[in-house]
Amino acid sequence: MNDLSNYRKSYEKSELLETNVPEDPINLFNKWFHEIEDFGGTEEVNAMTVSTIGIDGFPKARVVLLKKFTEEGFIFYTNYNSEKGKAIAENAHICLSFFWHSMERQVIIKGIAQKVSEHVSDNYFQSRPDGSKLGAIVSNQSEVVPSRAYLEENLLQLEKDYDSIVIPRPKHWGGYLVVPVEVEFWQGRPNRLHDRIRYTSGEDYTWKIERLSP
């Protein structure tokens, strides 16, 4: 048995107070995101956990890369026919979460996922390296395959098929915009009295700001 009860750390790097947060959570997210970039210690600042409710009724979480965030919300790309894509088609309520251990911070975002326009997906797809484009085409994401060799052989064939020509975006691959309805910022503090500030979207497009008990 592995007893992890003695794995303890005192969080002392920063604080989060109601008096120093903006009215809009996207502004605070932007501030934190770039502070993590500047501080270092996190290889992929844009790595986030995407949690969905599967069509089998079970929640499932996986790490995906955030590709853009704006005042509207948060954008990531995937195969629409994947397990997560099918889950979103059935239930668009999803959760995004970031854990930035270097600054002892978490952000948890509840939101509604919606497909971005085909134009936006096309533009992002064409910005990717050719290898990534072909990988998106060759992979029937989440489907059972006979072997690694099967995938590699299909990729080699695609490389020949698309040699010296533009690689089109497959229609089953594209972006999701997650429009936030609730955003929680978590800052580690000593003695487990962590700071938790929650933004909740109101009907008048304003945000209610509340402190949560740790």
**Burial (CB count within 10 angstroms: exposed 0-12, middle 13-18, buried 19+), residue 186:** buried
The answer to whether 181 and 201 are in contact (CB under 8 A) is yes
Question: Which sign, positive or negative, has the C-alpha torsion 129, 69, 108, 34?
Answer: positive
Q: Nearest 5°: phi and psi at 62?
A: -150, 155
Q: Which of 192, 196, 198, 211 is catalytic?
A: 192
Bridge partner list, 200 = 182, 208
192: annotated active-site residue: yes
Q: Which DSSP symbol is given to 72?
A: S
Please identify every residue annotated as catalytic. 192
